Structures are given as structure tokens and as C-alpha cells.
Structure 1
Amino acid sequence: MDIHEYQAKELLSRNSVQIPRGGLAYSPEQATYRASEIGGGKWVVKAQIHSGARGKAGGIRVCESDKEVSDAAEAMLGRKLVTNQTGPKGKLVSRLYIEETVDIRQELYLGIVLDRKSERVMIVASASGGMEIEEIAEKEPDSIIRVTVDPGGGMQQFQAREIAFGLGLENKLIGKAVDTLMGCYRVFRDYDATMLEINPLVVTGDGNLIALDAKMSFDENALFRRPEISELRDKSQEDPRETFASDRGLSYVGLDGDIGCIINGAGLAMATMDMIKIAGGEPANFLDIGGGASPERVSKAFRAVLADKNVKAILVNIFAGINRCDWVAEGVVKAIREVGVEVPLVVRLSGTKVEEGRRILAESGESVIVAETLAEAADKAVEALRSASGAKAS
């Protein structure tokens, strides 16, 4: 789960990380009021969406008058901002963050991520802030500092000092850098984050260290014990298909194809999508219904897949071990009758109670295309899709 910049900054500010003064606005009038509250003669108006690279897309503007603040807010609010991270559909801007400007002397990069290879938390830092980390790695790989943190002992002060010295900071800034690094790690650890990025972390003209931007992502599996983080969720920034599925306990990732997939097991789901591609089709989603799929859960999976209007065919592929094919078959029949499946449906069942499952499908009287193998199922799904598309064109 991602959160907005202003929310991440609020969490950081509670843990010894300095941030610029700012305020939230939902209208041009509120934006000018926030600017007057902050004071001064120059402000930054920032679109709050779950994406980086906002500045390049016009989502961050420096303003020098109330009118400029109002005009910038008018131009952003209620519109979709398209960045190189949002995809062509963009994301809706429904709130703005109005912030004081900062006298920037130096820009740094700081990130904290879960490194699954080393099974450790990794601190990534660079003296080349302001760029995406991929760009830094390509152009200035030697500037990147990487430090792994042992989960048993947590981040140590000496590690923070090593990073601060590695960034080439002046001696008088080392203490502030250590406080900032330790504060960032505490936020990352205490809220079950999976990613924290400050880009840029700036050294100001008066010798302060300030987080000018902040992005955070959290482990959704840990949200049950972090209610204060769950409350920060903004569903308007999420793929509505994924939101619909996650609210019903389904593991779903939306894709751009037209063959909906209902599978049990992540590995089998990946293999199924590969087979669809090999057969000449495009999967519309990754969906893992899990090991103990009841008929009700299968029906929910159908609703989630059909919520995507691009889906023109559905492939159900179940290998039943913990699961049972007769349960899945009952769920398929229930979905057809209750949800209304108007697209070609291919079902491949294998494993526990497979004969019973196939009998239920055969005796249901519903239009179901049955396949014996995964390859056959993928071929039949693509063939059924093309036949249905051809019939509609005619």
C-alpha cells in the first residue's frame, strides 16, 4: 500500500526528520489560504498522487503570488496527471500540498528498502539527489552507498555515521544526518514499510538537512496491526479492479489483456499467463484464489475478473491439492447463474475430486469449454476469444 507525500512527511516529522512547513488544500481558495498561513513570498504547489516524476509532468509548480497559487491549483485539481510511472491513464489529482520554498545548497538521495536477496533491510544513499535511483545507477554508479541492516540488532549509529561521511557532508552536518537516518529507519521498522524514499534530501543554505520529498510503501499483510497506516489508504489512487479484489480477500493484479484468469497458486497463475501468451493471447490479470477456495470465493473471483470491461474470455485453471475440484466446479456454476458470464469460459480441472468436478460442470447445462491440460486450455481460450470477436464483428 502506498501513501501520499504529505502523509509520509507527517510520519517522518514525528521521528527527528525535518520537513518544510506546508498544508493540505482541496480547492484553489484553500491553496491560497495555506500559502498565507505559511507566509513568505514564494511557495511550491504539489499534486498529491501515488507517483514519482510529478515535476516533469507539471504536477509541481513554484509560485510567487496568491494568483499563481490559485491558478496552479485550478490547473491541477480534478484532472489526471500522467507521469512516466502512472501509465497513459494517469492518476486523478484530488488534493494538493502547499509548501514553503527552501534554499537548496545540495541535493542527496536516501532510500530504505527490503532486499529480498540478502534478506535484510538495505539503506541506499547517494550524493546525486534529484534523479531517479535507476538514473543515478546508470550515470553515477560509484556514488551509490549501500548498507545492509541486521534485523536482530537494527540500524546502528556507526552505520548512520558511515553513510553521512560517505555522502561527503560537512562535519557540522554529521550529527543531523545521523538523526535523520535513524529517524527514517525507525519509521520504516515501526510501521512495517517495504520502501521509504527521500529524493531529494537537501542541505539548505543555513545548514539544515530537510526532506523535500517523501514516498512510502507498506506491507499490506501487516496492515491488520497498523490501523493508523490503514487509515491513510487512498483508494482513488489504486487500480479499481485491484481494489475490488483486495476488498474481497483476493490476490489480484490487473494487466492490459482480454483473457481473464482465475487460478489457484501464484506459480500456476504465472505459468498460465505464460501459456496464454504462447498461444497468442494476452492475459487480463493475475488472480490467485488461494488453496481453500469455496464456491462463494470462486464466485467472488468471477465478479472481480468481470469487473474489467476489457475481459472477452475467461480461463479457470485449478490444480486441487488443498483445494477440491468439486468446490471449484460448484463455484463456476454458481457464478454463471448469479453473476452472469456472457463471455466464453474455459475450465481446466486437475487433482482432488477432479472427476466429480467435471461431472458437475457437464450436468450443469451451462456453456463451459472443458480442457484436459494447461496448453489445451490456453489454446481453447484464445480460440474462443477469436471466435467470439469474429462473431461480434460479423
Structure 2
Amino acid sequence: MKLHEYQAKQVFADAGIPTPASTLATTVDEAVEAAEEIGYPVAIKAQVQVGGRGKAGGIKLVDDAEEAREAAESIIGMDLKGIHVDRVLVEEAVDFVNELYVGVTMDRGQGEPVAMVSTRGGVNIEEVAEEDPDAIAREHIDPAFGMQPYQARKAVYDAGVDREVANDVASVLRTLYQLWDDRDGADAEINPLMVTSDGEVIAADAVMNIDDDALFRQPELAEMEDEAGDGDALEQKADEYGFDYVRLDGNVGIIGNGAGLVMTTLDLVDFYGGSPANFLDVGGGAKAQRIANALDMVFSDDNVDSVVFNIFGGITRGDEVANGINQALEQFEEIPKPVVVRLAGTNAEEGMEILNEELVTVEHTLEDAVQRAVDYADEEVEA
């Protein structure tokens, strides 16, 4: 379960992490009224769970009522990366001199939680990790003992945080870890954690994702899921269909049967210069309706320019999968995006002979299938 920014900030504030004054608004008039009460300047921020909101026009800084109304009118009701914006957070603008990053997640390779700190806040931390991994200080934590004060200080100092605010940042980091632990978190982060000219630290953004399997222990957070409203319609649809689905920012749709198979496909899309649009694991079975449901989801994502099927036949036979794909695609009057299929495993050769090549492109290796899908997506972008 992913909390919206306004919900995560409520959780953070209740735990003692400083956050800006803010009000949730669902109409333009409510947004203007909230801005007047908070006092200008304010930020008006779309409450959708996608990255890059600012670049996409979903965050605007305003200095008066006229600008607030214009910003609210442009954001409320907009389509932001395929998600309808139905609410905004009106928030006190922070006069900052520095932006930091703090986060907590599980390092599955190490088998322990890891706390992270960086002075490169305010940007995509995944890009920082890839381009300059040394810019992120990491401290692993024994869950039996929790985060000790010295560990928080060490992470902060290793990151090169200014000593004048180091203790406050360490305090925020310890609180963030405690929240992550107490609330059955999957990820918790503040990006950016802003440092003001007065030496205060304020959480200008908030991310908190909760382990779905632990929600029965978190009734307050489960209520927030209901309060959040529609959220990402595709992820809701995935729940209805029984798929494991995560929406990403790219344009190559990915469908596979098995989490490892899908992850491998994601990695290859990235390797060949593409950008994955989703993680979609349809699980076992190859019934036409299940395949049609998967295609309906991927085709419904406006960001998707091509689709790659990566199916391994174990118990499920390749010829059954092929029949399912054919029947599913025949339900569409027009195939909206090019589809590439790779089959492997039981009866894979029979399946590839069955596939209707007027509807799909068939490739014999995963590498070829991914490259073809990336090429199709590039052609759509250039068209």
C-alpha cells in the first residue's frame, strides 16, 4: 500500500518530524482559501503517486490568490502521466538553502534494513545511486536492536551533512526508521529534507509504502487506503484481476508469468536502451480472458508504446499460451500498440507456430523480443 504525500506527511508529523503547514483541497475554491489561510508563497501539489510531478506540471509555486487560482485550475482535473488528479496539497513554501535525502528500506541482498542519507536531495535518488553511488551514505541496521543513535550520526556524517544541522538530520533519520519498523514499512523516505536559512530541517516531501500483508496490524493506515479514493486506476484494476502489478514511468509494457521472469525482462529493456512502463506478472494459467485482462491493463496506460510478452511454459504449455494470446487479441477491433511475443519451455515451438503473426511479432529469444519491443517504442516516439 502506497500512502499519498499528504497521508505520509500526516504520519510523519504525528511522529514528530517537522513538516510544512498544509491543507488538502479537492476544488479550486478550496485551494485558494487554503492558500489564503496558510499565507503566501505556497506550493500547490498534485496528489498522485508518480515521479516527476514538477516537470509534468503537477507542482506550482504561487505568490498570490490570482496565481493560486490559475495553478489550482490547471492541476485539478489534469491527466498526470495517465492518472487523473482530483486533489491537491496546498502547502507553505519552504525558503531553503540546501536539500537532503533520507530514506529507509530493506536491503534484501544483505538481509537487513538499511538507512540512507545523501546531500543530493531534490532529485531522483535512483539516478544518483546509478551515477554516483558514493554520494549516498548507507548504514545497515540489526532489526533486533533497532537504529542506535551512533548509527544515525555516522550515516549523516558519512554523507557530508553540514555539522550545524547534523544532529537534527540524525534525529529525523532515527524517527523515520522507527516509523518504518513500527508501521510495517516497505519503504520510507523524505526527498527533499530541506534545510532552511535558520538551520531548521523540514520534510518537504514524504513517501511511505506499507507491506500489504501487514495491513491487518495497521488499521489506521488501512483506513487511509480507503480515504485515498481512486488512486491509480490501473493498480486497482490489477487487484481486481489478481495480478502483481507496479506502474513505472517508461513506455515499454511488460507482461510475464513469474516475478523473476518479469524482472529479467525489465532489466533487459533497460539494457537495450528502453524504459519499462510496468511490472505485470499474470501468474499461472493461460486462459484467453486472463491474457485479455493483462492486455487491457497495458493498453490502457497512455505511456505505453509497445508491449513485450515473456512467457515460460512450465506446467502451462506454450500452445495453450499461444491460443490464449490469439483469442485475447481477436477481442480487440484494432491492436492499439505493437505486441512482441517470446515463448519458452513446454511446447514453445508449437505455440510459436500457432501465434497469429498478423496480430503479433514472434521472436525466438528474449533478447530479440526485448530489442524489437524497444525499437517499436522508439518508432512510436519519433512518429
TM-score bracket, normalised by the shorter chain, equals: 0.5 to 0.7
Aligned to 2:21: 21
Letter in 1 for 2:111: E
**Could you tell me how far apart the structure 1 residues matched to 2:140 and 2:51 are?**
25
**Which residue in 2 is equivalent to 1:70?**
69
3-state SS of paired residue (1:150): coil
Q: Which residue of 2 aligns with 1:124?
A: 116
Structure 1 partner of 2:257: 264
Tell me whether 1:168 sits opposite 2:159 in the alignment: no
Unaligned runs of 5+ in 2: 377-383
Q: Which amino acid aligns with 1:169?
A: R
Distance 1:248 1:60 in 2: 36
Equivalent position SS for 1:33: helix
TM-score (norm 1): 0.66
C-alpha RMSD of matched pairs (Å): 5.2
Q: Report 1:225-244 matches (<5 A).
A: 227-228=222-223, 230-231=225-226, 235-236=230-231, 238=232, 243-244=236-237
| CA offsets 1:125-176 (integer angstroms, 9 cap, x no match) | 23454455468679997764321222333222222233455533348x73x5
Q: Percent identity at matched positions?
A: 37
Tell me the alpha carbon deviations over residues 266-318 of structure 1, each in whole angstroms, 9 at most, x when there is no partner. Answer: 4555777899999xx99987643223556653453354456569999987664
2:185 is aligned with 1:185: no
Alignment partner of 1:323 is 2:313? no
Q: Deviations over 1:84-121 (max 9, x none)?
A: xxxxx576543222223445465433222333443332
Give the corresponding residue for 1:43.
41
1:334-362: CA deviations, max 9, x gaps? Answer: 6477x45765999877656x49x969x98
Matched, 1:374 2:364: yes
* 1:113 matched residue in structure 2: 105
Structure 1 counterpart of 2:75, one-letter code: M
Q: Does 1:301 align with 2:291?
A: no
In structure 1, C-alpha distance between the alignment counterparts of 2:134 and 2:303, rounded to whole Å: 45
Secondary structure of the residue aligned to 1:231 is helix
In structure 1, distance between residues paired with 2:277 and 2:88: 33
Q: Distance in 2 between matches of 1:135 and 1:310?
A: 20
Query: Aligned AA for 2:146?
Result: G
Picking from 196, 202, 206, the partner of 2:195 is 202
Q: What's the secondary structure of 2:163's corresponding residue?
A: coil
Distance 1:14 1:351, change over 3 A: same
Give the counterpart letter for 2:139 in structure 1.
Answer: V
Structure 1's 162 and 277: CA in aligned 2 closer, same or farther, altered over 3 A? closer
Residue 150 of structure 1 aligns with which residue? 142
